Amino acid sequence: MSASFESFGFASSILRAIETRGYQTPTPIQAEVIPLVLQGKDVLGCAQTGTGKTAAFALPAIEQLTESTAAGNHKLKVLVLSPTRELAIQINECFDAYSKHCNVRQTVIHGGVGANPQIQRLRKGMDVVVATPGRLLDLHQQEHLDLSSVELLIIDEADLMLDMGFIDDVSKIVKLTTNRRQTLLFSATLPDAIKTVAADWLSNPATINVVPDAIPIHLIQQSVYFVENINKDLLLIQYLFATPRARTLVFVRTKQDAERVSRNINRAKLEALPLHGNKSQGRRRKSIEAFKSEQAPILVATDVAARGLDIDNISHVINYALPEYPEIYIHRVGRTGRAGSKGEAISLCASHERYHLEQIEKLAGIAISRREWNYDDFGNLLQLERAMHRKKGNHRPAAKEKEASSEDSPVENQWERGRGKKKKKKNKRKRKSKVITMDDINPSRNSAKYAPKKRTLD
Ligand code: AMP
């Protein structure tokens, strides 16, 4: 790649900020997107966090502003829409860093916190507003900001906007801006619904795709275990115990899964925290901080919550559930093994997920190695059952014990699983007595042998 930041013709104040950040060469998405934005073109970018996408739109946006703000007129000219608060905050921090030496003002607007400080900042006049759609519309309705002056509209993580039900709000916001605007839309995947809105909102866009070539996932050691849903918690926890790890990011499908899986990991005496959209802003921030500081080196997250996060030094990515879109797999796995460091990713694939696995291998052009988990290394399953009952002083009739050792349902019901509310209540006592910990699984073993050895990547 021959592009350099100087070759884009950025103002020296911007080049200085880039240097301070320590960026030497543009990433592939930056090399492609920056010239297009500077030429005033609309862009449809298929890319996700981790590719350098934020700088790809923020740097040329600031470059455009450095000229128009010379007169000190801080009217809203650049509007960035983000589906999550964390991502909005992160994008705003990038704008802040890149415009450090310029006369550019930016602020972030999102829900979950009081609106007054945001209104105060808007009153001062802002060139750039990074916002989540709901709060932006609220403040617009209350006439705290005028969107008709927006010259550059950036819609980030559009597919997530769709998943989270924000697309109508985004549509309203688009209509509040003028047709003269330049529009950039980024999305990790391009389902038909996104292509449709893109055709509506963008005018003759250049399409840029950084999936999958620009993310060197072939450098990451990847493997897959075929395991049915019912046994995933057990395999996951045994894997976590047996593997020397630094930060480990576990991707689950639903918010309920995030809660349940992290609870089960904690029961096995490993530190894990859940991260999903139902958590309050404060709890989400605490989970992220604990993960960053390695207080809780395991984060169990939904894609929605984890997407915007820029966290380094993740040694392991675990796909507890395979994602529906193969691009998401590449983005997830791309979070480990960054900057030349070695990463590892494993996937737990149930029979109904094999189709997704095929799609992933097809898109990435790789064959993910199949591995078998040897549960026996951790005590056989009958021993497991016994340990569980010994703990509660609960003796099963012999016939039942035999049934429990059947190969078809080796560990069924041992871990807490998501169920309907009614059933949950009814079985509350029964289910509770079936929760076991790793100590129960293998009481005779030297736990130090299997305890996770913390290590950093470099
Ligand atoms: P993003 O995809 O925008 O969230 O960026 C991911 C990470 O890459 C962030 O930590 C950025 O600071 C970093 N980054 C962005 N551009 C570059 C670059 N050209 N060289 C090195 N790191 C970069």
Domain ranges for the chain: 5-213, 215-413
Distance from the CA of 94 to the center of ligand 1, in angstroms? 10
Write the residue with the smallest CA distance to atom 13 of ligand 1: 52
Instruction: Provide the mean pLDDT of the chain.
Output: 81
pLDDT band at 409 (very low <50, low <70, confident <90, very high): very low
Write the residue with the smallest CA distance to atom 11 of ligand 1: 52
The model's pLDDT over 188-209, given as tens digits with 9 standing for 90+, comes to 888 899 999 999 999 999 999 8
Instruction: For residue 441, give the amino acid letter.
Output: I
Query: Does 48 sit in the ligand 1 pocket, CB within 6 Å?
Result: no
Q: Identify the pLDDT of residue 304.
A: 73
Find all residues with CB under 8 Å of 284, minimum gap 6, and list them. 85, 86, 275, 305
**Structural tokens at position 225:** 């275990």
Using the predicted structure, report yes or no on whether residue 382 has a pLDDT greater than 70: no
CA distance 173 to 164: 16
- Provide mean pLDDT across the span 210-231: 81
Query: Does 331 sit in the ligand 1 pocket, CB within 6 Å?
Result: no
Query: Does 54 sit in the ligand 1 pocket, CB within 6 Å?
Result: yes
pLDDT band at 308 (very low <50, low <70, confident <90, very high): low
Q: Identify the pLDDT of residue 72.
A: 67
Q: How many residues does the chain have?
A: 458
Instruction: Quickly name the fold that domain 5-213 has.
Output: Rossmann fold (3.40.50)
Measuring CA to CA, which residue among 253, 276, 254, 257 is closest to residue 265? 257
Distance from the CA of 339 to the center of ligand 1, in angstroms? 10
Measuring CA to CA, which residue among 74, 59, 62 is closest to residue 26? 59
Q: Identify the pLDDT of residue 286.
A: 86
Distance from the CA of 420 to the center of ligand 1, in angstroms? 43
Write the residue with the smallest CA distance to atom 21 of ligand 1: 23
Query: Does 53 sit in the ligand 1 pocket, CB within 6 Å?
Result: yes
pLDDT band at 281 (very low <50, low <70, confident <90, very high): confident
Query: Does 210 sit in the ligand 1 pocket, CB within 6 Å?
Result: no
Query: Does 27 sit in the ligand 1 pocket, CB within 6 Å?
Result: yes
Q: Identify the pLDDT of residue 437.
A: 38
Distance from the CA of 236 to the center of ligand 1, in angstroms? 31
pLDDT band at 101 (very low <50, low <70, confident <90, very high): very high
Q: Identify the pLDDT of residue 1.
A: 47
Using the predicted structure, report yes or no on whether residue 446 has a pLDDT greater than 70: no
Are 95 and 128 in contact by the 8 Å Cβ rule? The answer is yes
Sign of the CA dihedral running 145, 306, 361, 352: negative
- Asked whether this chain's domains 5-213 and 215-413 adopt the same fold, the reply is yes
Write the residue with the smallest CA distance to atom 5 of ligand 1: 52
pLDDT band at 292 (very low <50, low <70, confident <90, very high): confident
pLDDT band at 378 (very low <50, low <70, confident <90, very high): low
Helix (H, G, I), strand (E, B) or coil at 155: strand
Q: Identify the pLDDT of residue 456.
A: 38
Q: Which atom of ligand 1 is nearest to the CA of 21?
A: 12
Q: Identify the pLDDT of residue 338.
A: 58
Q: Identify the pLDDT of residue 434.
A: 34
The model's pLDDT over 419-433, given as tens digits with 9 standing for 90+, comes to 444 444 444 443 333
Query: Does 55 sit in the ligand 1 pocket, CB within 6 Å?
Result: yes
pLDDT band at 457 (very low <50, low <70, confident <90, very high): very low
Mutate to test the pocket of ligand 1, among 54, 309, 338 (most ligand atoms within 8 A of CB): 54
**Structural tokens at position 61:** 């946006």
Using the predicted structure, report yes or no on whether residue 69 has a pLDDT greater than 80: no
Beta bridge partners, 209, equal 46
Distance from the CA of 30 to the center of ligand 1, in angstroms? 10
pLDDT band at 177 (very low <50, low <70, confident <90, very high): very high
Question: Which class is 215-413 in CATH?
Answer: alpha beta
Q: Identify the pLDDT of residue 67.
A: 78
**Structural tokens at position 15:** 């080049």
Mutate to test the pocket of ligand 1, among 1, 4, 27 (most ligand atoms within 8 A of CB): 27
Query: Does 50 sit in the ligand 1 pocket, CB within 6 Å?
Result: yes
Using the predicted structure, report yes or no on whether residue 66 has a pLDDT greater than 50: yes
pTM: 0.68
Region of 356 please: left (phi>0), alpha (psi -120 to 50) or beta. Answer: alpha
